[in-house]
Amino acid sequence: MSPSNNPTVGWIGTGRMGAAMATRLAVAGLPVTVWNRTRSKAEPLTEHGCAVADTIEQLRGLDVVFTMVSTPADLEQVLLGQGGLLADPAALPAVVVDCSTVSTESSAGIRAACAARGVGFLAAPVSGNAKVVGAGGLSIAASGPRELYDEVAPLLGHLGKSVTYVGDDDVARLVKICHNLFLGVVTQSMAEITVLAEKGGVSRAAFLDFLNNSVMGSVFTRYKTPAFVNLDYTPTFTPILLRKDFDLGLAAARRLDVPMPVAAATAQLVQASVGSGRVDEDFAILLDLQAQASGLTLKPEHAVVDDGLGAQA
C-alpha cells in the first residue's frame, strides 16, 4: 500500500463522525467508497464525491478501509461477522484503520484477527465531533507498527489538525479513554462553577466569557459555551456514549491499579444523566442536572456566543 499513489479508500460507518471524516478524505481528492448499515445515512456523501457500497464485500480489496462504529460488538461484526470485511481470505484490504472508541482488549483481538489474515491494523481513535471535523480541528492518536503508521499518516493528515503516534500495539485506545475521562470531568466541573456563579447573580455568558479568556479557558470550554449559555443540547456526544467511556476508563484504572476518585465521582453523575432519560441530548445536560441539584431553574440567555471553531483547513 502506497498512500503517495492516491490509494483507494473504504469507509465503514457514516454516523455523524464517520460521515464528516469520510467527507474530508473525498474533498481531498481521494477515491472513497462508504458503507453504512442504513444506506440512507450514507447517500448524502455522494454530493462530496463518495461512492456508496451496497455491501461491505464491495470494500474488500481496497488499499485502506477505515471503520468508525459505536461499540466493540459493532466493530467485530463489520470486520469478522457474516459478510464482514475480513470474512473472505481471498479478498482482503491491505490495511484497516479503526477510529472507534473501544477497549484495548477489544482492539487487541481485532489486531490479532487482522494479523492472522496478513492485513495491517492501525488503531486511530479521534478527539472531536462532527463540527470539529468540519472545521479541520480533529486530533488523532494512532498506535501500531511504526512503519505502518508512516504509510498511513498522509491519509490521517487529511482528517484534521494533528496526528500523534503514541506507540505500538493498542495504546492509542488508552490515550482516547483517558481523554474522554477528562472530557467528562471537565464538563462536570464546568457545570458546577457555572451554576455557582449564576446562583450568585452572574450571567452564564459573562462568567464563561471571563473563564474562556483566562488562563483556565481552553478550546473545549469555549466550544461548550454556546450550549451552556443558550441551553442548546443538540447532540454532539450523548450521555450513553460518555457512560461507555467511563466504564472503559475505570476498568482500565482497576486493571492498572490507579486510583481515580474524581473520575469515579463523575461517573456517578454521568449515570444520573442517563437515568434522567435524556439520552438523546448532548452530555452538556450535566449543567441542567447540576442546576436542579442546586435549586436553580435555568433559562436560555439568547446571547450570541462564539464557539471558537472558525474553519481551519
Q: Any idea what the CATH number is for the domain that residue 266 is in?
A: 1.10.1040.10
Q: pLDDT averaged over the chain? A: 95
Of 116, 146, 169, the last residue of a domain is 169
Q: Is 8 found in the same domain as 153?
A: yes
Q: What is the pLDDT of residue 259?
A: 98
Q: Give the pLDDT of residue 2.
A: 47
- Listed in sequence order, the residues at least 6 apart from 46 whose beta carbon sits closer than 8 Å to its beta carbon are 52
Residue 313's pLDDT band (boundaries 50, 70, 90)? very low
- Say yes or no: 120 and 212 in one domain: no
Q: What is the 3-state secondary structure (H, E, C) of the chain?
A: CCHHHCCCEEEECCCHHHHHHHHHHHHCCCCEEEECCCHHHCHHHHHHCCEECCCHHHHCCCCEEEECCCCHHHHHHHHHCCCCCCCCCCCCCCEEEECCCCCHHHHHHHHHHHHHCCCEEEECCEECCHHHHHCCCCEEEEECCHHHHHHHHHHHHCCCCEEEEEECCCHHHHHHHHHHHHHHHHHHHHHHHHHHHHHCCCCHHHHHHHHHCCCCCCHHHHHHHHHHHHCCCCCCCCHHHHHHHHHHHHHHHHHHCCCCHHHHHHHHHHHHHHHCCCCCCCHHHHHHHHHHHCCCCCCCCCCCCCCCCCCCC
Is a pLDDT exceeding 70 seen at residue 7? yes
d(CA 140, CA 308): 20
| Residue 186 lies in domain | 177-293
User: Whole-model pTM?
Assistant: 0.90
How do residues 208-260 score in pLDDT, each as one tens digit?
A: 999 999 999 999 999 999 999 999 999 999 999 999 999 999 999 999 999 99
Q: Are 49 and 191 within one domain?
A: no
Same domain, 162 and 20: yes
- Is 310 a domain residue? no
Predicted confidence (pLDDT) at residue 117 exceeds the cutoff of 80: yes
Same domain as 164, residue 195: no
pLDDT interval class at 6 (50, 70, 90): confident
pLDDT band at 311; cut points 50, 70, 90: very low
**Domain end among 169, 185, 207:** 169
Distance in angstroms between the alpha carbons of the first and the last residue of the chain? 26
Is 156 within the bounds of a domain?
yes
Query: Which residue is listed with cell 462508504?
Result: 34
Shared domain for 185 and 77, answered yes or no, is: no
Tell me how crowded residue 313 is: count the other CB atoms within 10 A of its CB: 9
159/181 same-domain check: no
pLDDT cut 70: percent of the chain above it: 97
Overall average pLDDT of the 27-54 stretch:
96
Give the pLDDT confidence score for residue 1 in this predicted structure: 54
Tell me, yes or no, whether 146 and 122 share the same domain: yes
Band of the pLDDT at 5, cuts 50, 70, 90? low
What is the rounded average pLDDT of the residues 168-181?
96
pLDDT tens profile 122-133: 999 999 988 899
Is 308 inside any structural domain? no
Q: What does the pLDDT read at residue 70?
A: 86
pLDDT above 90: residue 3: no
- The b/e string for 179-203 (b: 16+ C-beta within 10 A; e otherwise) is bbbebbbebbebbbebbebbeeeee
Q: Evaluate whether 101 touches 70 at the Cβ level (below 8 Å).
A: no
Residue 298 lies in a domain: no
* pLDDT number for residue 29: 94
What is the number of structural domains in the chain? 2
Instruction: Give yes or no: residues 141 and 255 share one domain.
Output: no
Residues 80 and 131 in one domain: yes
Residue 309 has pLDDT above 90, yes or no: no
